[in-house]
Chains A and B, each alone.
Chain A
Amino acid sequence: MRKVLLVLCLVVLVSLALVSGVWAKGYTIGMLVKNVGNPFFEACARGGQEACEELGNNFIFQGPATPTVEGQIEIIENFIAQKVDAICVSANDFDALVPVLKKAMASGIKVISFDSAVNPEGRLVHVNQADAEQIGKLQVQAIAEMIGYEGEIAILSAAATMTNQNTWIRYMQEELKDPKYAKMRLAAIVYGDDLRDKSYNEAMGLFKSYPNLKGIISPTTVGVSAAAKAITDAGLIGKVKLTGLGLPSEMAEWVKNGACEAFFLWNPVDLGYLAAYVAGLLCEGTITGKEGETFKAGRLGEYTIRKSGDGGTEVLLGPPFRFDATNIDEWKDVF
């Protein structure tokens, strides 16, 4: 019995050795995401892989099992130990990765953030999916068109602590001050904490509290699909309109039944592609991450590095992409 157990333990250890790969000659680029098993980041990884193949680089995709900054620190330490040439990170915390990323940069690794930024102190450049202002305003414009610029609307957000969502909501409120929205009123902002059941219940609660509700904006992939389900279940299709940020694979059903006419998102494949491309160019020394530099990112075309709102520099992927009945079939299998 003792032998069997020891062998069992050793088998577990040896099985680790099976994960092996043959490296190409180029630079090694590590992409570190908030957590693994998230379809959005899997799509980013596909784009990253594609860019690395084009540039002749090696691509590593990693993330902690749960979205914690402690897990990301451990992985960055492992990247440093492996002597990767560049790290693209989607940070779980704006500040807390700075010390370990500084250590990485001190050992010669090019560090960039994408999707979710780290403090400019801990990065060379940030690859931003879309402009926060644009994201906020586009959603208000879309819902206004759907409800004919008249009536009560509500926002179903993720958690009250989330930086992204709060910034977008601020821009939404700003956009709503425009006189053309004078007949629209933001009745409530509720939080579904990015949990499906809680978001669903919050949406149902909105229908009860605001019987005249005309529209919902949900700037989170979990919230928007939960709201669509709530609208469908409550028999309010056509009476309460919905837009927000969603994943085509999750939203296809609701676009088809009319619960959500249109929603937005950036293309995560392109986002990962651009991040890995920028990392590759930094390794080659073609760019350094300074404001004003221009470069060509493969199939995506020309980009210019610009100043970002947080005092660093960024590359902007492009305007958010609009998904509706005309293109949903084409995208629902992509991500």
Chain B
Amino acid sequence: MALETVRVQRVRTSAFRWEWLLLVLIAGTFFVNSRISPHFLRYTSLMSALSVFLEAGFMVLSMVFILVAGDIDVSVASIVALASVLMSLSYKAGLPMGLAMLVALGVGTGCGYLNGLLISRIPNLSAIIVTLAGFSLYRGIAYILLGDRAVGGFPSWYSYLAWGDIGGTGIPFILVAFLACALVYGLVLHRTSFGRKVFAIGTNRIAAVFSGIPVARIRHTLFTLNGLMAGVAAIFLTSKLGSSRPNVATGYELEVIAIAVLGGASPSGGKGSIAGACLALVLMRLLRYGMGLRNVPGQVMMVIIGIVLICVVMFPNLLAARKRRPAGS
């Protein structure tokens, strides 16, 4: 156990440096953006720019846990679609909106539970295979249920979740909800024994098993949690769109994973931080917002984001390679 504590300690300090790198990049982006567009620094625009992709941010939080444990989940966007469609349908069937939102959470949790069950209980079934199956399965069900139709007409208060701000301060409600969630996730990952066990599983799964960590149960919990967060994302996304369709959130899974990785989580496990993920989210938003203000075309934006992602992610690897070498590079 002593050895493991040392390892966790080291991981934590390296993650700390990573966050500084992200902060420098955010400051740089902020500076450049404010120079290239007179609109950038307007408070309301900044706030709405930060909350544009935030519904997916909820999934980034739980995805960090999944990545830290050395797993991956590509089914989240499809879970969002299914949860959103079922929530809308149950509202249309006469359920009060509050209960319909619980349906979304329940559907998300259920899908995540199923993913986790298969992954953790059946030996040698890899997470990528199971969640790839979930990727088609969940959205497929959503298509069967709704086909080409859209369901909408929610009560007007429901749009507050994605569009409202806190008592006229201009701070979006979704931003506050996200920060509260991030705080909880951050504390659990970095300050509890559960979090330490997640790191241990991702660092060396076999060693974790032999140290008496309930690996299967914890992995099962993490996937269930990821499903729950997909349900949360579905509630906010549906509120943003004002209606639901089976094709909502298309492609979100990759953006979620990309942001978690940009935030310092490693797909090979054992590394990652919630603060890093939040900073990565901010960096990505500021980049896209700045480029949007200059009307950079969509394809060019994709290329630039890709370049930024690869540059930032390879940075620590190059540093490590340099350190390992005796002299110079």
A residues apposed to B, CB below 8 Å: 1-2, 5-6, 8-10, 12-17, 19-20, 35-37, 60-66, 68-71, 73-75, 77-78, 80-83, 93-96, 98-100, 103, 160-163, 166
Contact = CB atoms under 8 A, between A and B. Distances in A.
B304 interface: yes
Given A36-B299, A74-B288, A95-B241, A16 B322 contact: no
B298 A71 contact: yes
15 contacts: A13-B287, A16-B304, A19-B295, A61-B295, A65-B302, A68-B250, A74-B52, A74-B292, A78-B49, A78-B292, A81-B42, A95-B150, A95-B242, A99-B241, A161-B148
Contacts of A161: 143, 147-148
A10 to B, nearest CB: 6
B157 to A, nearest CB: 13
Interface residues of B, number: 61
B296 A19 contact: yes
Interface string B17-42: 00000001100110010011101101
Contact of A65 (B143, B150, B301, B308): B301
B53 A74 contact: yes
B139 interface: no
Given A36-B297, A78-B292, A99-B163, A73 B148 contact: no
Contact of B251 (A10, A37, A68, A95): A68
Contact of B311 (A8, A37, A96): A8
A162 B53 CA distance: 26
Contacts of B287: 13
A99 B159 contact: yes
Contact of B318 (A5, A17, A68, A96): A5
B289 interface: yes
B48 A16 contact: no
Interface of B: 24-25, 28-29, 32, 35-37, 39-40, 42, 45, 48-49, 52-53, 143, 147-148, 150, 152, 159, 162-163, 237, 240-243, 245, 247-252, 287-299, 301-302, 304, 307-308, 311-312, 315, 318-319, 322, 329
Nearest to B37: A82
Chain B residues touching A, majority SS: helix
A166 B148 contact: yes
Contact of A99 (B36, B242, B247, B297): B242
A68 B81 CA distance: 13
A138 B35 CA distance: 54
Contacts of A93: 150, 241, 243, 245
Given A20-B36, A78-B289, A9 B25 contact: yes
Nearest to A166: B148
A217 to B, nearest CB: 20
A9 B48 contact: no
Contacts of B52: 73-74, 77
A13 B304 CA distance: 9
A68 B247 CA distance: 9
Contacts of A166: 148
A63 B298 contact: yes
